[in-house]
Amino acid sequence: MTKELFYQAILKFVFGAVFIGILLFLPAGTFAYWNAWLFIGILFIPMSVAGMVLMIKNPKLLEKRLRGKEQQAEQGLVIKLSGLMFVIGFVIAGLNFRFQWIMLPDWILWVSAIIFLISYLLYAEVLRENTYLSRTVEVQDGQKVIDTGLYGVVRHPMYSVTIVLFLSMPLVLGSVISFVIFLAYPILIAKRIRNEETVLEKGLEGYTEYKKKVKYKVIPFVW
């Protein structure tokens, strides 16, 4: 672990928390938006714990996760559109609370929060199984095909988990409209996977055979 990596992780963590807080509380016009506090809690508390564990046990993986600049134009576009989706979705959630457009019952919020936390645990399991995971599409030196655990069920368990994770977010925030906006994410992921598999087939030995072994990309028995 280096001081530079530590400061980089802390800076991104603080910036992320402040930025999301602005996107939610400013449109809501109040800090009494309790859904936003719940969401920030279940997002950033586990994130801080996971970050500390990675910093101590696997700083190289943490560094990969912090590096987010895509080299490929197609993937860069996917990242930008995903970011736009999050910004619009969070702002709409705040406005939804402010103007009471469509309010969800509390039980949906709590069930969604539980689903979010379970997805977070699965996210951590994927990181444990595959230490080659970076935020960018690339083939790394010495990288090998992972075909055990969740990778024996679908080829892209990280995307499977993040789809559930991200679709639960607007429900925790209490906004049906934001949920509809976040439905763009699976479409963007489909585009990302198509390009990613092309890169992996060309650069990662054994990936073509792995595709034959594990037929489903994201959803078992469906896709």
Assess if residue 82 is contained within a domain.
yes
Which of 115 and 196 is assigned the larger pLDDT? 115
What pLDDT score was predicted for residue 137? 58
* Domain CATH code at residue 159: 1.20.120.1630
Q: CB within 8 A of 140, min separation 6: which ones?
A: 132, 134
Which of 211 and 53 is assigned the larger pLDDT? 211
Count of structural domains, the chain: 1
pLDDT, one tens digit per residue, over 161-220 is 999 999 999 999 999 999 999 999 999 999 889 888 888 888 888 989 999 999 999 999
CA distances (Å), 112 to each of 85, 135, 161, in order? 19, 25, 14
Assess if residue 205 is contained within a domain.
yes
Assess if residue 223 is contained within a domain.
no
Assess if residue 127 is contained within a domain.
yes
pLDDT of 87 > 70? The answer is: yes
Average pLDDT of the residues of the chain: 88
pLDDT of 156 > 90? The answer is: yes
Assess if residue 159 is contained within a domain.
yes
Assess if residue 219 is contained within a domain.
no
Which of 3 and 174 is assigned the larger pLDDT? 174
Which range of residues forms the domain containing residue 134?
3-213
Assess if residue 218 is contained within a domain.
no
What pLDDT score was predicted for residue 166? 96
Angle at 161 between CA 177 and CA 112, to 5 degrees: 45
Compute the distance between CA of residue 96 and CA of residue 152 in angstroms, rounded to an integer: 41
CB 174 within 8 A of CB 104: yes
Assess if residue 85 is contained within a domain.
yes
Exposed, middle or buried: residue 73 (CB in 10 Å: 0-12, 13-18, 19+)? exposed
